[in-house]
Amino acid sequence: MLVLTRREGEKIIIGGSIEIVVSEIQGDKVRVGISAPQNLEILRGELLEAARSANQEAASGDIDIAALARPGEEPLKLGRQTPQI
């Protein structure tokens, strides 16, 4: 793995079309700006891991589809309390 040291405001260019800029450093957090072609998927690493493990759980768990037939009497609303991950 290539490891580079960068200061606030400095950039890294990948393959001519991807630009990463360290936009802000504050304590243990770094804000990173990314410019890339629109067709490129950009994800936080832990989100991809969570997606994989949810699918693994989905494939390995036995779900009784008949028991899910009536998820609730009234339609569910996600509303404002929707937790962020």
Partner 1 sequence: MVIDTKFLGRVEVEEENILRFPKGLYGFEEIRKFALLRRNGDDDNPFFWMQCAEKKEPCFVVTDPGAIFSDYHPSLTPAMAEAIRLKSPDVLRMLAIAHVDRAGGRVFLNLKCPVLINSVNNVAAQVILENDPYPIDYVISGAGRGMGR
Residues making contact with partner 1 (CB under 8 A): 38-44, 47-48, 50-59, 61-63, 65-69, 71-72, 75-79, 81-85
Q: Which is nearer to partner 1, 7 or 77 (CB)?
A: 77
Which own/partner contact pairs does 57-60 have at CB distance under 8 Å and 24+ positions apart?
none
Rounded to a whole number of angstroms, the minimum distance from the CB of residue 51 to partner 1 is 4
Rounded to a whole number of angstroms, the minimum distance from the CB of residue 17 to partner 1 is 14
For residue 19, give every residue at least 6 positions away whose Cβ sits within 8 Å of its Cβ, in sequence order, or none.
11, 12, 13, 34, 35, 36
The CA distance from 21 to 34, in Å, is: 6
Q: Which is nearer to partner 1, 4 or 43 (CB)?
A: 43
Rounded to a whole number of angstroms, the minimum distance from the CB of residue 19 to partner 1 is 17
> Nearest 10 degrees: CA dihedral of 56, 57, 61, 63?
-110
Q: Which is nearer to partner 1, 4 or 68 (CB)?
A: 68
